[in-house]
Amino acid sequence: MLRRCALCLAVAISAVSLLGLSGCKKADGASQTSLTVTGSTTVLPIAEVAAEDFQTANPGKRVLVAGVGSSAGIESVASGTSDIGTSSRDLKPEEKSLGLVDTKIALDAIAVIVNPSNPVSGLTKVQVSEIFQGKITNWKQVGGPDLEIGLVNRDEASGTREAFSKFVLGTADFDPTAAVLPGTGQVRSVVAQAAGAVGYISLGFVDTTVKALDVDGIPANETTVADGSYPLWRNLHFFTKGEPKGLIKAYVDYVLSDNIQNTVVRDAGFLPIAEGGTKP
Amino acid sequence: MQSRERMNKRVTNGIALGVIGLAAIATVGALGTILLYVIINGIGQLTPAFIFTWPHGVNMEGGIWPTIQSTLYVTALAMLITTPIAVLAAVYLAEYAVQGRLVSIIRFAADSLASVPSIVMGLFGLALFVEGIGMGFSVIAAALALSFLLLPIIVRTTEESIRAVPKYIRWGSYGLGASKWQTVSRIVLPSALPRITTGVILAAGRAAGETAVVIYTMGTMINAPVSPLDPGRTMPVHLMLMAQEGINMPAAYGTALLLVLMVLGFNLTARYIGRRNRRMQG
Amino acid sequence: MNDLPQAPAPEPDPTPYAVDSSLSTISKATYFKEAALKNLFLLCACVAVAGVGLIFLFVGLKGWPIFAKVGIWEFLSGAKWYPTKGFFGILPLIVNSLLAMAGALVLGAPLAIGTAVFLSEVASPKVRELVRPAVELLAGIPSVVYGFFGLVLLRPIIAQLFGGLGFGLFTVWIILAVMILPTIAALTEDALRSVPEGIREASYAMGATKWQTIWRVLLPAAKIGIIDAIILGMGRAIGETMAVVMVAGNARVIPDGIFKPFLTLTTVIVMDMPYASGDHRTALFGVAIILFIISMLFVASIRVISRFGKEMS
């Protein structure tokens, strides 16, 4: 019992001292040796692989990456919990006053996907909007078979959902009876396995198990995204509180370097930011 | 007349027992299905590389070593915190307590803690340890939250173990002039130790598999925690995230299999200790 | 040796140390040491009470503002959960949680009771050695593995067989039933075992078959224990999160079919927490405290029923 008290005391002392030490971590970027990057699950692959390579190239520096959703990422960088907030959507009006600096790091497009067995190969933007609002409920209403539409939505934390909502629905709401799935891969595998399913994922994750639809007659591929004809595109962002400095700047520059842009970004299915040209 | 009744009785009996047997088969079948599915799909992943290397690259290819370390760390810490308190609490309830208001309240509280949904415990850990006291996402916050969850479990099994010690052993001890504490600490507890250990190991298995509590107290960052204040990602959390992302399913299967093996390991160890003890007691 | 009593026995041996110093066989120092130790152990036991209090305090404090803002009645009975637009009604979540629990019980309780009867009355010792560990193992599997299994195996199968996406009440019922099975089975078996052997022998002696004995004598005799087991299973079903969130589909409405997605009190927390802020976050803590109160109600009802049952017999 005395032993237990001693143990408690030891734990308490070490906890307090470590608390004190770790408090120094969130000083300015210049003297940091570790970096916290949180936010969008869409940006996660880029951030993580770049972090790994960055750590190999700069021994002694650590970059901790987590994917929790664009909104959570923005909030945590604004509150100082993390150094960089990644996001797959632009700042909302109420977030513009948080003092965040935007660095765009890649280009992405959102594809509307259906099961490969679905004969429908393209929809108009209006049709897509009505399907996801729940106004169209059967494929035969858009030229497909007599099959109930299985609507697959993303969770509200998802930047992909925000972007899709902004592009396609405008101010309308998603059908509340749609299934809400928390990850890109899940959306993809559910759509791949259910004949009547429809969902939306980042173009970079489309593979042979699903089929991407044409939107307003434009197919979804790299060319149409680069030249701006495919309507559902977006920038991927790194947000920092104030201009990036020190270790933060080193990491951001690393991600923007040609090497990373042409390997990691492309491997993840996105386009280098330079391709976007004069897009806003 | 009578023989038809007798026949009916036997037929009903046969059918009913058959249905009961089916229920048991369904139960074992459910277990078998789950285990087989996880094993078949995950066994290919169990290479030393998977177990001992870090995840890297897009979608966490590679291994899951930091998650294994996080799981073991938080489980060990939680057991370290809970076991002394739980054992002593059980000693009180089994040896000293007199039926009354206080004991009733304690038991009600213990039962309530035992049935708290783990996500409520997770939010509690977030509110008190992570944000309130300011530990941040850390092993210690998770261990403290887990220990509240494990406390009633260990109290229950320890109390049963203590009560299982035959009365005449205690009487012998008192007859020799020993005080209560001497009896408890030198005779009763050592005698009950194997069963207590069984209970503790089973509780550890429970702690290792917890997800909802850990996610809100330890965070989700891939990290091999060194100090108790470090965050980390445990295997159940990793499994959940891998399954939700849905992109690297082989890693998910591997994690699931390792997790099941770990829990199975705890279970079998506990059972082995229990069986050895029973055999020794004759 | 022999089987130990399952439920906590009422009172232990009275401590034999005398307080009257003229008859005491121990010194005053030992007496004080003993008293101090006893109080230390009491303190440890009260940690449980402290825990419950702390949970109420911290989760309740974090959740209180939403009750103050929206009103407890509106919170509980509001039919729209759309927090990003200011709607904080959890009625659909409550209904969904109850639906999930009810179905899981209907599916799982008979299976569990059947298995318990099998273990206690029907199985030979060798078979018992095989089946009982299986039930215990089932209890030890982490809920996230159940959810994973439901997601990757069960959901596609149900989507194939019944159309739709494979999420929904039906899938959740199956998974939850398997999860609460070990809980109910273990407690039912305990209850059946504590029925005195003599009752069985009397029943057989009167010419009853095994099934008649089980159905007309044993199960009614173990009724209280079985009800306790079922209530515990109910509590587990309603509090389960990880397994449900992977197969329920998470749509914030009351589903209009058993193959349609839905959201429960537990899954709403896990889905919304990553991004909730402000009132939304407070509301989630409010949901958590409601869940806590529900689980305590289950525990309280077990006590009441047990006491009632004891008074009856």
Q: Do C44 and B152 touch (CB under 8 A)?
A: no
Chain B touching partners, 3 or more CB pairs below 8 A: A, C
The secondary structure element, H or E, covering residue A97 is none
pLDDT > 90 fraction of chain B, expressed in percent and rounded: 47
Average pLDDT over residues A150-175: 88
pLDDT at C14 over 80: no
pLDDT at residue C30, rounded to an integer: 79
pLDDT tens track for C173-219:
999 999 999 999 999 998 998 888 898 889 889 888 888 888 888 88
Summary mean pLDDT of chain C: 87
Contact check, Cβ <8 Å, A148/C271: no
For residue C165, the chain A residues in CB contact (below 8 A) are 150, 152, 179, 190, 194, 197
CA atoms of C134 and B31, how far apart (whole Å) = 7
Categorize the per-residue pLDDT at A26 as very low, low, confident or very high, splitting at 50, 70 and 90: very low
Give the residue-averaged pLDDT of B78-95.
92
A29: CATH: 3.40.190.10
**Which is higher by pLDDT, B169 or C264?**
C264
Kindly state whether residue A280 falls inside one of the protein's structural domains: no
What is the crossing angle of helices C265-272 and C223-239, to 10°?
A: 30
- Of B159 and B278, the structure prediction assigns the larger pLDDT to B159
Q: Which range has highest mean pLDDT (B4-8, B176-180, C221-225)? A: C221-225
* Averaged pLDDT, C73-100: 90
Q: Residues of chain C whose C-beta is under 8 A from some C-beta in A?
A: 37, 40, 82, 84, 151, 155-156, 159-160, 163-167, 249-253, 255-256, 260-261, 263, 271-272, 274-275, 277
C contacts of A1 (beta carbons < 8 Å)? 37, 40
- Residue C295, classified by CB atoms within 10 Å of its CB into exposed (0-12), middle (13-18) or buried (19+), is buried
- A29 — pLDDT class (breaks 50, 70, 90): very low
Percent of chain A with pLDDT over 70: 86
| One domain for residues A247 and A222 | no
pLDDT digit string (tens) for B212-260? 999 999 988 888 899 899 999 999 999 998 898 877 888 899 999 999 9
Q: Which of B95, B152, B260 sits opposite C141 (nearest CB)?
A: B260
Assign C9 a pLDDT band (cuts: 50, 70, 90): low
CB contact under 8 A, A268 and B58: yes
Q: Please report residues of C whose CB lies closer than 8 A to that of A148.
A: 163-164
Using 50, 70 and 90 to split pLDDT, how confident is the model at C147? very high
pLDDT on residue B14: 87
Listed by start position, the domains of chain B span 3-45, 50-281
- Count of structural domains within chain A: 2
C227: nearest Cα among C302, C297, C296: C302
CA end-to-end span of chain B: 52
| C contacts of B121 (beta carbons < 8 Å) | 55
C251 touches chain B (CB under 8 A): no
Average pLDDT score, chain B: 88
Rounded CA separation A208/A197 (Å): 16
A contacts of B56 (beta carbons < 8 Å): 49, 52
Q: What is the pTM of this model?
A: 0.84
Please report where in the chains the tokens 């199960």 appear, as a residue: C219
Taking CB atoms and an 8 Å limit, are B120 and C292 in contact across chains?
A: yes
pLDDT of residue A19: 45
Give the Cα-Cα-Cα angle C237, C45, B125 (nearest 5 degrees). Answer: 50
Render pLDDT for A191-236 as a digit per residue (tens, 0 to 9): 999 989 999 998 878 889 999 998 888 888 878 887 778 888 888 8
The answer to whether the CB of A164 falls within 8 A of the CB of A232 is yes
Query: Under an 8 A CB cutoff, do C142 and B263 touch?
Result: yes
Which is more confident, B34 or C20? B34
Of A26-30, B41-45, B95-99, give the lowest mean pLDDT range.
A26-30
Residues of chain A in contact with residue C254, where contact means CB-CB under 8 angstroms, are: none
Q: Is B221 in CB contact (< 8 Å) with chain A?
A: yes
In this predicted model, what pLDDT tens digit does every residue of C244-291 receive, in sequence order?
A: 999 999 999 999 889 999 999 999 999 999 888 888 999 999 999 999
Give B270's contacts in chain C (Cβ within 8 Å).
Answer: none
Percent of chain A with pLDDT over 90: 21
Look up residue B12 and give its amino acid. T
pLDDT tens per residue across span A100-126: 889 888 888 889 999 999 999 889 999
Does B56 contact A at CB distance below 8 Å?
yes
Q: Is C119 on the interface with B (CB under 8 A)?
A: yes
Which of B112, B168, B210, B234 is the best residue to mutate to test the C interface, defined by the most C CB atoms within 10 Å of its own CB?
A: B112
Residue C260 pLDDT: 92
Q: Name which residue leads in pLDDT, A18 or A127.
A: A127
What does the pLDDT average to over A24-42?
A: 67
Average pLDDT over residues B264-268: 90
CB B55 within 8 A of CB B251: yes
> Quick check: A6 pLDDT over 70?
no
Residue B235 is predicted with a pLDDT of 94
Counting one residue from A and one from C, how many pairs have CB atoms under 8 Å apart? 69
pLDDT digits (tens, 9 = 90+) for C55-70: 999 999 999 998 888 8
Q: Which residue has the higher pLDDT, C143 or B99?
A: C143
Q: Output the CATH code of domain B50-281.
A: 1.10.3720.10
| Interface with A, mutate which of B53, B54, B59, B226 (most A CBs under 10 A) | B59
What residues in A contact B244, CB-CB < 8 Å? Answer: 181-183, 185-186
- Whether residue B168 is predicted with pLDDT greater than 90 in this model: the reply is no
Average the pLDDT over B57-76 and give the result: 85
Q: Taking the domains of chain C in order of start, what are their residue ranges?
A: 102-269
DSSP C249: B
Whether B226 has its CB under 8 Å from any CB of chain C: the answer is no
Per CB-CB distance under 8 Å, the chain C contacts of B9 are 209, 212
Q: Does residue A36 sit within a domain?
A: yes
Report the 10 Å Cβ neighbour count for B1: 5
Computed from CA positions of residues B209, B212, B218, B219, in that sequence, does the dihedral angle turn out positive or negative? positive
Task: Tell me which residue of C1, A263, A80 sits closest to B136, measured CA to CA.
Answer: A80
Q: Are residues A6 and A141 in the same domain?
A: yes
Contacts for A159 with CB less than 8 Å, ≥ 6 apart: A40, A41, A42, A43, A69, A70, A71, A87, A88, A89
Parent domain of A29: 16-107+235-275
Token output for C180: 């609460």
Render pLDDT for A57-74 as a digit per residue (tens, 0 to 9): 888 888 888 877 788 889
Query: To 5 degrees, how large is the angle CA B32–CA B38–CA B43?
Result: 120
Query: What proportion of chain C, given as a percentage, has pLDDT over 90?
Result: 50
Rounded-to-integer distance, Cα B188 and Cα A234, Å = 69
Q: In which residue are the tokens 């509980």 written?
A: C76
Q: Which band of pLDDT confidence, cut at 50, 70 and 90, is reported for residue B58?
A: low
CATH annotation of C102-269: 1.10.3720.10
Task: Enter the DSSP assignment of B127.
Answer: I
pLDDT at A25 over 60: no
Residues C161-166 have a mean pLDDT of 88
Select the residue of A14, A19, A184 nearest B246 (Cβ to Cβ). Answer: A184
Residue C1 CA to residue A190 CA, distance in Å, equals: 55
